[in-house]
Amino acid sequence: MTTIKIKSTDPDSQGPFVIIEKADFNPDKHELFEGESLGDGTGAVGLGGDGVPTLAELMSGAKQLQARKEQLDDFEMHLNQRASLLDEREQAVLAREQANEAEALRLAALAAAGTTSAPTDPAAMSKEQLHAALDAKGTKYPAAANKAELVALLTGA
DSSP string, 66-98: HHHHHHHHHHHHHHHHHHHHHHHHHHHHHHHHH
Q: At what angle do helices 127-137 and 147-155 cross, to 10 degrees?
A: 30
Collapse the DSSP code of 40 into the 3-class scheme (helix H, G, I; strand E, B; otherwise coil) and give the result: coil
Looking at residue 139, what is its pLDDT? 87
Number of Cα atoms under 13 Å in the Cβ half of residue 61: 11
The tens place of each residue's pLDDT in the chain, 157 residues long, gives 688 889 888 888 888 888 888 888 888 888 888 888 876 554 444 445 567 888 888 998 999 999 999 999 999 999 999 999 999 999 999 999 999 998 988 888 888 776 545 456 888 888 888 888 888 888 888 989 999 999 898 887 5
Distance (Å) of CA 45 to CA 39, 49, 76, 139: 10, 5, 36, 92
- What is the distance, to the nearest Å, from the Cα of residue 104 to the centroid of all Cα atoms in its chain? 30
Query: CA-to-CA distance for 50 and 111, rounded, in angstroms?
Result: 90
Looking at residue 114, what is its pLDDT? 66
**φ, ψ dihedrals at 60, nearest 5°:** -65, -45
Query: CA-to-CA distance for 25 and 38, rounded, in angstroms?
Result: 9
Looking at residue 40, what is its pLDDT? 53
pTM confidence score: 0.36
Query: CA-to-CA distance for 110 and 118, rounded, in angstroms?
Result: 10
